[in-house]
Structures are given as structure tokens and as C-alpha cells.
Structure 1
């Protein structure tokens, strides 16, 4: 009796199918992890604090998917091995049966048992294989790949690969940017009043949500949820056989779609509504983030019912992109475009706060090997440690300033000079005289000033650094602008909450519509909060453009316990 190969062929074809799917998904995971790790290396190289860009959880999700695939591959390997062992035993049993029967007569009892046994084996193997194939095809890997491809192909200034945002909370809890808790999970927040955004880009100004729902699945859900097209009348009139304009039925009764239960609402519509709520509760540089919904498996213009859904999604002020809008990926992406671009919108002239003027002359910023003395305040010791890992000037301040013209309010210059003269070291005083517009810098060309400054620094001073910093009288322009009501009325509320020096610095930047650079995060947040609480639904109001440096530097001569 010879072995029937039909069962083996059937199982082999399934094995090849599952093996092929598994290998493809496995390789996708490996390739994606490689790209994410390459981007993380870029962050480590280019950012003082790489953790500000949230990609860790996304990478963890992909890695978990890889582990799941590896477990399925192990099951598949065991299944194939067991199957082959069983087949080999079956062949041996058949041979033994042939030998035990009478010559020329088949062993009917064994043949019948063999046939029944083979059938059960085939069914079991087939069921196991189908479950494996189903598990493989249910993998989240295609979704993760789609999210990454959309980010790397169409986004810039990445801040997060996955972040949750809430609504019905105070403005302060929904800020996006350095040091903010914009989408951070907090115990007192209701997750039901939140939305998960797949990509936060444009330095926080753009949210991208990806849905890999298929057209067939969308149409099925439309039917299940009771969404259907109808006419206002059966026909527009008795003589006109053309249907009237089609409309979409919504599954809620009230004027506010958010006031009813969402159980019967279509997931995409609910998603769009939640994205809009969260975006309306979030401000990035005084504006709500732009929302983009990407549907890579949905076509537009061929199925009227789907087009109606797309129109409904767009009615929430959301940009919707379908298959035809997406650019196919061509090879490896330029990951540098994903790096945050905090200096992209800087004005040609920068308004420098006193906090950064001090950082620019501090010995901590320029001397690589400073001996830590017992008299040093613990804050100075910490700054020395941080400076060794990532020097402030080369990594952040000089790149931020570039070749921009630098100015500062006279109040900031006076305060800075008072501090340096009081507690600054000899070298800190010398740098101040070179940096600031003063008799020591009058009539001296930039090249010479850079050379003098270089002699006082262990770092390479950029030759295009626009020193000296020009000192301006800010008060007259601020008062004139406020008197003429050139700023929004909320400017009076902002001004009332500022000290004299902060009034001069931040109000001058606002009046002149120029970027103010500072390390004073407290004042920046105070200004934003004041504006949000007093904007009175006026969406056009924007406050001063402020860039906050992550850290500051004290003067090395500062005594323990003394405050600037």
C-alpha cells in the first residue's frame, strides 16, 4: 500500500501560506524597529533631552508584535514537525499493514482504520493551520507600518508617536510642548473624555489619526448602525424621475451630537467628533492643532455611501486623506525631517531675556573642567554635571540664535550687568563686555569680537553669531502700542501680572512681533494662561511668540543661598 500524497499536498500548501505571511510580518517588524531605532539615535545626537519626543511606547508596541509573531512561528514549527512525524509513522504503519496481509489481498480492517485516522488528522491540522493564519492576518503590524509610513512620508517636527489628549479640563493641562502635560495620562482624568492621536507633528501643531478600516468593513458598519441614504421626497416632483439630494441619517436626536449615547454611532464619526473636542481643548502657540485623518484603505469618488461618510468627517473641520492622497513610500525616508524644528518660525531679530544673557557669559557654559568647590550651591553642581553631558551653548543656544540679530530691553541689560558686576568672576565680566553693546564693543567689527570671545571659551564660537547684543529702550514703544490699542484687550491683563523687567522683555517682544528667547518657563506659562482665561471665545487672539530654553546657567561666582 502506497502513501496517498493528497493530504500532504493540502497541508503543505497551507504551511507555505502561513509561513509566507509569518515571514513577511516578521521582516516588517524587524525593519520597522531598525528605522525607529535609527530615529532614536538621531534624537540622541541632536536633542539635549531626547525624551521630549515620545517614541518609546510606539517602539514597545512594535516589539511586542514581534514577540507575538515569534510565538506563532514556534507553534507553526511544532505543528509542521508533529505533522511530518505523524505522516512518517503513517507510512511505516501502511508498510507494515501491507506486509501482514495476504499476498494480493488488501488488509481491509487496517485500511478502514487508516482512512478514518487520516481524515481526523487532516481536519485537526487544517483547523490548527487556519487558526494560525487567522492570528497572523489579525496582526497589528500593518497598522503600525501604516502609521510609521505616514509619519516618515508626510510629517515634520515629530513630538510623539501616540499620545492621549483630553477635553473638559483646564487649559494648563492640555498644553503641548516642552515640559507640558498636554496629553499625559493623569489619575484624575476621565479616559472616556479623551482621544488617542497616532502622530503629533509640526512641533505639536498637527495631529494625525490613522484608521486602516477597509471599504467593505465600513459599509458593513454603516448597515449595522443604521446609517443609510434617503431622499427628502421620493422624487423632486411628479414629472421629474431624478431622486432628490441624498442625505445621511445620524443616530442621535439632539442638536448636540455629543449629548447622546454613542453606542449606535459609527466609530469613524465618533472618532472625528472626539478629535474635534480634544483639539478645541488644546492650544499650541495660541492656536488649536490641525487635525488630519488618514484612511489608507478607503477610496473616494466610487461609492456614494462612503463619500457621504467622508463629507460628514470633514464637517468637523478635519482634513481627510484617502488612498489617492497618499504618496507611496520610495525606499528609505529622510528621518531628519522628523526632528523637532523649534527654531523654524523664529523672527529675523530675536529678543533675548536676562536669563539667557547670563547663561551666555557664565563660566559654567564655557569652561569644560570646572573644579567643584564645597562653597558651590547644589544647583550649580547639578548644572556642571548636566553641562558635561550636553553643553548648553553648542547644543541649544547657538543653534537657536544662528545669525539672527540680537536685541534686549534696557531693563534686562541693566539687571544682567548688576548681577555680573556683583557676583561674576573675572572671565564672566570680560565676556559680558564683549557680548553686550557697550563702550568695549563700540566700533569693533564682529570678527574681532568673536575672536575675543573665543579666547574666553573652551567651545568653538560660531563665526556668524551676531554679537554684540543691541540694547533697546522698550518702554516708549510698549506704552504707545497699548495706548493706541494695537494689541488685543487681553494685553492689559497680561501686563498687570508682570514684574517691571518681565513687562519690558515680554511685552516688547509682543509689541514688535518678534520671538523672545528665555529660560523663564513660569512667565511664559503665566502669559498663556492669562490669555486663555480672558480671550472670551475670540479665536484670533495670539500672545507673544516665546521660545523657552530647557535650562539656564547660573554664574559660577554665585554664593550659596544668594538669589539672582
Structure 2
């Protein structure tokens, strides 16, 4: 919780009443916003394996810096008030002893106080806090699946999808002139939101300064006279890259819309460009025809433009859980489980809470034990991902998993493997399997977990779909780079439209890269639907006899 700054507010003297009230209100609002952000960060830490995947820290730091600035400003102005008062009193004493008739000291002090008050109020009105409040209010009122509060995207070269960047990577050798700063990345990366708190008067002033004027209608007659006046636009984006051109004459909102479009066109999230939204809380559409023309120009870039957005959510009183990432929202009713996660489902590392660390353990095993102790993989990620969905795996993935467990697994890992794969089948249905599995896990096993995993003979299905042309031609390029197991897993998920879950990020990236290189002009081209678990689990026995 942020400390209440009330004790730092200057005394409520007559000459500082307005500024003190404004300052106190800003402090309260800033404190509420910081508390909201702290609550959200605590929620991220409690629910996500990697809270840093949601980029909030910099935004929170900016708000905190604004609070410090307000406090310093307040103290500085208070000091100036006291100094001015002393100077005025000294000057008044000296002049009262002179021969010339002087202005009464009360009037002199009033002039000083008014000047200080004006400067203080101007500084308070210049605070960035209203912008931060607008951003957070829009998040609360209209966003889900928040990934970032502030993120820069480039159109010069490859731009990574939001969830594929570690957070520590830097955009080396990137030209910021070929980038745009997005205020909100929501929809699990599929929506970018930009907020501008420009006022109507400021926008009209900029339009006049930049030369946006209506064409003369003196020579227009007949039906054409009923048309709204067209705008004289000094320069607009015409499809070619204007990045090297001087755009000083462009309106900031038009430049913003154009830059958003270019950055979005250079970025794909699950094979699709992100949706774009610009929110203008201080602009009222339909009020000024000249401004409506600007809004229409912005929308011509394929951007949703919202004016005077009603921030229905109140800071400090909203359900923040709606803002959590929702990576499982679009999962298919059946999940295609890769061999890597089949192994994670049976590993002792995933199920034994206080697994003793032996000297013979490889450091990778030790690290997995430490990570799982902080945030267990199955309860925090895999079981929520699987939910009550049907689980299948290809025969190649199932066979490979059995081979690894039989060769390297402990007795408990082998026992879990038999339960997961439904062996022997005569031992009962799903309820029986869950009870048997619970006896082998320190974690509470969800009762709706669909065991066993059904094994699918994927090759006939894949061959039939390929023969029928159900996949795009790029499928041949994708298939050439896959091993037999990966071919069966990822191609089966692709031809059936089933979500594949895996921890093999390398193959997922390989497939995505191949598709993008062969996309051409096909904007609708998509690859298999894949969800990548950020961490894997080895078997305890895998490196049992190997020294570090």
C-alpha cells in the first residue's frame, strides 16, 4: 500500500486553497492507481508461473515517478510561497519608513500569492497522471488478457510476438523512427490500444497550424453541393513506405494511425495481424465536422477509433482477474498432447513436493526441482490447460514416451505412465484412474481430468487429408523439416484443426518461420494451432547416474 501523502500537503492557507485541494486530489488518485497496479501485480505473482510475461512494471514505475514529482513540486512551491511572503514583508517594512506613499502590504502579498498560485496550478494541470488514469481506466473497462502496459513495436525488420519475448531482450540496432509505442497490448497479444488525451481545442489548433483546410465549395452545384467539404491533406500514406520522408506537416493523430498500421502489418500473432484501436477520451464525434474528417482518415487505416470512451470501471473496485492472460480460451474440445508433455505428466519432478536432491542429479534436474517447488507445473499450468477436455496423442508420441519411461523411469514414473495411457484397460474407467493417480501424487489431482490419453493412428488421417488437399501447399515445406514423431504430432493437429500442446518451442517456431517465408500474398494462410508450455520436465531417472 502507498503511504497517504496527506501529511505532506502544505497548510491550507487562504492563498493556497485551490492548489492544495487540487494537489490533494491528484495525490489520492495517484495513490489509488498505484494500489490498483500493486494488486494486479500481486495477482500475477500468485497465479502465473512467470509473472514477468505481463509487462506492467514500467507503467507502474512511471506512475510512481509522477507521485514523486507531485510531492517535490508541492514542497518547492510551498518553499517559494514562504520565501515570497518574507520578501514582501521586508520590502513593505522598508517602504513604509520612506517618504513615498506605498501600496498596502496586504495588496503586495496578494499579488505575490496570486503569481505563486498560478504557477502551482499550471504545474498541477500539466501532470501526466490523467493520461495514466485514462490508460488504466480503458484497461479496466474494455480489455481482457492483458500482456503489456506500454510496448514498442517496429516495422523495420522482424517484430516478435508479445509472448515470445523473454522481457530481457533488447531491440538492438532498431530505428525508433520506424516504430510505434503501444499503450495497451490486450487480447493475449491480438489487440493493440493507443490512448490519446488530446482535446478538441488542441486538435483544432494543430489542424490550423498544419494547414488542414476545407476546399472551397463556391464552384460546386447540384447534388454535389450536399456533400460534406473535403479535406486538403498535405500528405497521407499511400501504400508506399514514407519512413524516410519528412512528416513534420502531418497531424500527430494521422501519423499515429499510419505508424500503428505499419507496425501491425509487420507483426503477426498466431498468423494474424493484431487488431488496432485508438481511444480519444476528450474528443466528441459529431460535434466538429473538421474533427470528424480526421477520425474518418484514421479509420481508413483499418483502425477502430473510439471517442469519449465511457470508463465504466472505477479504479480500486474492479475484478482484476479478467485481465489475466487467457491462453486456453480458444482451445479445441480435444487436445493433441505431444510426447514432451506426456513425460511431464508422469515425471516425479511434477508430483513429489519434497524430492531430495541427490549429488548425482544433473544441474538441469536440480533447477527443475527448484522451479517446481516455487510454482508446481501441473497445478499451475498443465491441469488448467487441459481442464476437462478430451486428450489424445499420436501412436508415435505414445510409443516414444513409453520407450523413454521404460528405459529411464523410476517405479513411480512407470506406474503413472501406465495410468495415463490406460494400461491395463480392464482396471476401470476414468474415476478409477484418477484415484490410482492421486495415490502417486502430492498434488490434488482434478477430478475432471480426462484419463486415459487416447492413442490415435495419425498416419491414415494425415494421408487422407493431404490427398484431399485440405492443407495449403506450404504443408509440404513444413513436413520436410520434421522428424517422424514431430510429423505425426504437428501434422495431425493441423489436418484435424486440433490444438496441439507441447513444450517444444523450437519446432513451433520452425513451422511458423516456414509458413511466413512461403506466405506470399495469402493473408489467410495459417499453420497448426499450437500452445507451448514454457517449461518441460525430465524424468528423475534420466540423469540418475550421470555426474554434473
Q: Which residue of 2 aligns with 1:352?
A: 337
Contact 1:162-1:200 at 8 Å conserved across structures: yes
Aligned pair partner of 1:381 in 366, 372, 381: 366
Contact 1:176-1:283 at 8 Å conserved across structures: no
- Where 1:174 maps in the other structure, the secondary structure is coil
Contact 1:433-1:441 at 8 Å conserved across structures: no
Aligned pair partner of 1:303 in 277, 288, 313: 288
Is 1:164 equivalent to 2:152 in the alignment?
Answer: yes
Contact 2:347-2:540 at 8 Å conserved across structures: yes
Is 1:174 equivalent to 2:164 in the alignment?
Answer: no
For residues 88 and 253 of structure 1, the distance between their equivalents in structure 2, rounded to whole angstroms, comes to: 60
Is 1:250 equivalent to 2:229 in the alignment?
Answer: no
Q: Map 1:236-385; keep pairs closer than 5 Å.
A: 236-237=220-221, 242=225, 244-252=227-235, 255-256=238-239, 258-259=241-242, 260-323=245-308, 325-330=309-314, 332-385=317-370
- TM superposition score normalised by structure 2: 0.92
Q: Which residue of 1 aligns with 2:498?
A: 514
Q: Map 1:431-470; keep pairs closer than 5 Å.
A: 431-438=416-423, 440-442=424-426, 444-470=428-454
Report the alpha carbon displacement of residue 67 of structure 1 after superposing the two structures with TM. Answer: 0.3
Contact 1:234-1:244 at 8 Å conserved across structures: no
For residues 307 and 213 of structure 2, the distance between their equivalents in structure 1, rounded to whole angstroms, comes to: 21
Q: Which residue of 1 aligns with 2:49?
A: 48
Q: Which residue of 2 aligns with 1:204?
A: 189
Q: Which residue of 2 aligns with 1:543?
A: 527
Is 1:16 equivalent to 2:17 in the alignment?
Answer: yes
Q: Go from structure 1 to structure 2 and tell me whether the alpha carbon gap of 1:531 and 1:14 turns closer, same or farther (over 3 Å shift).
A: farther
Q: Which residue of 1 aligns with 2:409?
A: 424
Q: Which residue of 2 aligns with 1:153?
A: 141
- For structure 2, list consecutive stretches of 5 or more residues without a partner in the other structure: 1-11
Q: Which residue of 2 aligns with 1:109?
A: 98
Report the alpha carbon displacement of residue 177 of structure 1 after superposing the two structures with TM. Answer: 1.4
Is 1:134 equivalent to 2:122 in the alignment?
Answer: yes
- For structure 1, list consecutive stretches of 5 or more residues without a partner in the other structure: 1-10, 98-106
Aligned residues: 532
- Where 1:417 maps in the other structure, the secondary structure is helix
Q: Which residue of 1 aligns with 2:3?
A: none
Q: Go from structure 1 to structure 2 and tell me whether the alpha carbon gap of 1:428 and 1:240 turns closer, same or farther (over 3 Å shift).
A: closer
For residues 449 and 85 of structure 2, the distance between their equivalents in structure 1, rounded to whole angstroms, comes to: 73
Is 1:475 equivalent to 2:475 in the alignment?
Answer: no
Contact 2:85-2:112 at 8 Å conserved across structures: no
For residues 44 and 224 of structure 2, the distance between their equivalents in structure 1, rounded to whole angstroms, comes to: 63
Report the alpha carbon displacement of residue 496 of structure 1 after superposing the two structures with TM. Answer: 1.1
Report the alpha carbon displacement of residue 244 of structure 1 after superposing the two structures with TM. Answer: 4.7
Q: Which residue of 1 aligns with 2:488?
A: 504
For residues 132 and 472 of structure 1, the distance between their equivalents in structure 2, rounded to whole angstroms, comes to: 72
Contact 1:475-1:504 at 8 Å conserved across structures: yes
Tell me which moved more, 249-258 or 284-293.
Answer: 249-258
Report the alpha carbon displacement of residue 242 of structure 1 after superposing the two structures with TM. Answer: 3.6
Q: Which residue of 2 aligns with 1:104?
A: none
CA RMSD of aligned residues (A): 2.4
Tell me which moved more, 357-366 or 484-493.
Answer: 484-493
Deviations 1:484-533 (A, max 9, x none): 11111111111111111000001101111011100001111111111111
Deviations 1:389-444 (A, max 9, x none): 01111111111101100000000000000000001001000000000133x13451
For residues 228 and 437 of structure 1, the distance between their equivalents in structure 2, rounded to whole angstroms, comes to: 74
Aligned pair partner of 2:204 in 202, 216, 219: 219
